[in-house]
Structure 1
Amino acid sequence: MGTNPMPPTRFGSMVFFAGLLMIVMAFIMGSGNAAFFSFAPLTPDIAAALGVPVISLIFPMQIFVSYGRAASPITGAIIAVAGMAGYSPFQVAKRTCIPMGIAVVLTYIYYYIVF
């Protein structure tokens, strides 16, 4: 009854949506720590329910939270760099979104190859 592991295709979609949630939360909050530490305590229970190792769920969450933080216009580093360069933080963040989007796609591909 609760011992059947989740099929790989359904687990892949779980990783996709958990990663997407992490990216959005980090982007909105401007902090990777706030988003990650809000959901990290839940991952052991979720992983146990899915029948997968905790690392296979928490690792992509941690990586994707850093991508969301790097693309957020309210991150402290983006604000500091934009101020020194004389640009709006939104202009700097806009230029980081494309590389971060590519990094997310490549990380998902790598994740599915390795795990």
Structure 2
Amino acid sequence: MVFRRQHLCGCASAFKSNSVCLSHQSTPILDDKKFSKITLFPNPTNGNFSLSLGHQAETLNLKIFNMLGQVVLSRSYTSVERVENLSVEDPGIYFIKISNSNGGSQTLRLLVN
């Protein structure tokens, strides 16, 4: 059996009844293409990872969510271009939401082995 799902963003997707459909909306942090090079490395990881913004951010809020939607880490930074020594202990898939004071946000996926 196949169902159609209407996401909050207006797009529709088909999925089987035994699958899980995850969707999210994100607003780019910056419109300028030269600053859109946000990288998360290494990915997949053993639990330790870093984040490079590719530009200097005045304010940065970072939240890491597990697959249940629970916040496992929440931090705020000022005047940062790179965030190092982040860590998640339990294996699984995580979502990292990066946002700024202007209301822009981006969500990245992280796989921890």
TM-score range normalised by the length of the shorter chain? under 0.3
Give the TM-score of the pair, scaled to structure 2.
0.23
Give the TM-score of the pair, scaled to structure 1.
0.23
Q: Which structure has the highest helix share of the two?
A: 1
